[in-house]
């Protein structure tokens, strides 16, 4: 079972307007958004239960750390969940993600590990590279087995995707569809269709969080994930996201169709500026 965090989105505040089909990563043109390095904890719970023996309980936390390493953005995220299916005993699931993404948008490294009831059940590791901004490239997995995946023209990595979404939102754009490679599953890349709602300067959050973050432009978005190399017409998952202009995600609703899991920001620490 995959649970998502957008690093971004987890994802240039000003600049020229792009046509959706030709939009480029925000870092490639004009002013760029100031993505804030931070360490956050999200509380997770089941928002919609499954039926007929499906997922009937989910509770846990997600830790998330987004850092500026001068030439790259790094993300370390871990999801701790206790899952229940019907009346069966709870299952403990821990999924960890570590990524490195070059600020020029052309290089990406990733590693994912998953444990179920303390036993490793999955490990994914590899690298990806694009031939240039707006061009295609390749991803090479080294675990669980060696395999090579072609990345089509216009593919973005996660933080570039977030920056692009933020820039488009600031400019009043409402829709963006792009191929995204994040390395989190063997089904990558995904065609991600994003619908951007009206922005607001008043995200709903506790006074404790508001004191740390202050006010910022905030958008509600809906993102549908379709595997690029699968012809089915329904998405693997749809995400409802509340995203701030500084790249901090306030809430994610992960809708898998038969059930849905919500992650809501509970604690956050703004990390020191890298000085780059």
Q: Does 210 score more than 90 pLDDT? A: no
Mean pLDDT estimate for the chain: 84
**What distance lies between CA 252 and its chain's CA centroid?**
9
pLDDT at 54: 79
> Which tops the pLDDT comparison, 97 or 199?
97
pLDDT at 154 over 80: yes
Report in angstroms the alpha-carbon separations of 106 from 125, 134, 151, 218, 250.
18, 10, 12, 28, 28
45 or 257: which leads in pLDDT: 45
| pLDDT of 20 over the 50 cut | no
| pTM reported for the whole predicted model | 0.85
Residue 84 reports pLDDT greater than 70: yes
The full set of domain ranges for the chain reads 20-270
Separation of alpha carbons 134 and 84, rounded Å = 43
SS (H, E, C) 25-43: CHHHCCCCCCCCCEEEEEE
- Compute the half-sphere exposure of residue 241: CA atoms within 13 Å on the CB side of its CA: 28
Token couple for 203: 């995200």
Pairing of strands 119-130, 55-68: unpaired
Average pLDDT value for residue range 236-264: 91
Q: What are the b/e assignments for 191-216, b being 16+ CB within 10 Å? A: bbbbebeeeeeebebeeebeeebeeb
């Amino acid at each position: 079972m995959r649970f998502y965090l957008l690093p971004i989105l987890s994802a240039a505040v000003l600049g020229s307007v792009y046509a959706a089909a030709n939009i480029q990563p925000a870092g490639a043109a004009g002013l760029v958004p100031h993505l804030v390095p931070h360490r956050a904890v999200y509380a997770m719970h089941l928002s919609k239960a499954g039926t007929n023996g499906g997922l009937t309980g989910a509770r846990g936390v997600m830790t998330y750390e987004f850092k500026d390493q001068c030439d790259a953005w790094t993300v370390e995220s871990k999801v701790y969940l206790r899952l229940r299916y019907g009346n069966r005993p709870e299952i403990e699931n821990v999924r960890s993600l570590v990524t490195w993404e070059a600020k020029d948008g052309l290089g990406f490294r990733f590693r994912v590990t998953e444990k179920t009831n303390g036993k490793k059940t999955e490990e994914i590791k590899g690298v990806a590279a694009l031939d240039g901004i707006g061009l295609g490239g390749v991803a090479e997995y080294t675990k669980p087995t060696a395999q090579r995946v072609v990345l089509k023209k216009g593919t973005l990595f996660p933080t570039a995707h977030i920056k692009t979404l933020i820039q488009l939102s600031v400019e009043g754009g409402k829709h963006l569809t792009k191929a995204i490679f994040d390395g989190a599953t063997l089904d990558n890349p995904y065609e991600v269709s994003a619908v951007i709602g009206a922005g607001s300067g008043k995200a709903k959050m506790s006074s404790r969080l508001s004191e740390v973050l202050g006010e910022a432009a905030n958008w509600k978005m809906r993102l549908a994930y379709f595997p690029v190399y699968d012809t089915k017409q329904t998405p693997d998952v749809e995400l409802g996201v509340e995203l701030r202009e500084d790249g901090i995600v306030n809430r994610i609703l992960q809708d898998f169709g038969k059930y849905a899991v919500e992650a809501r920001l509970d604690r956050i620490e703004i990390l020191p500026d890298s000085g780059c």
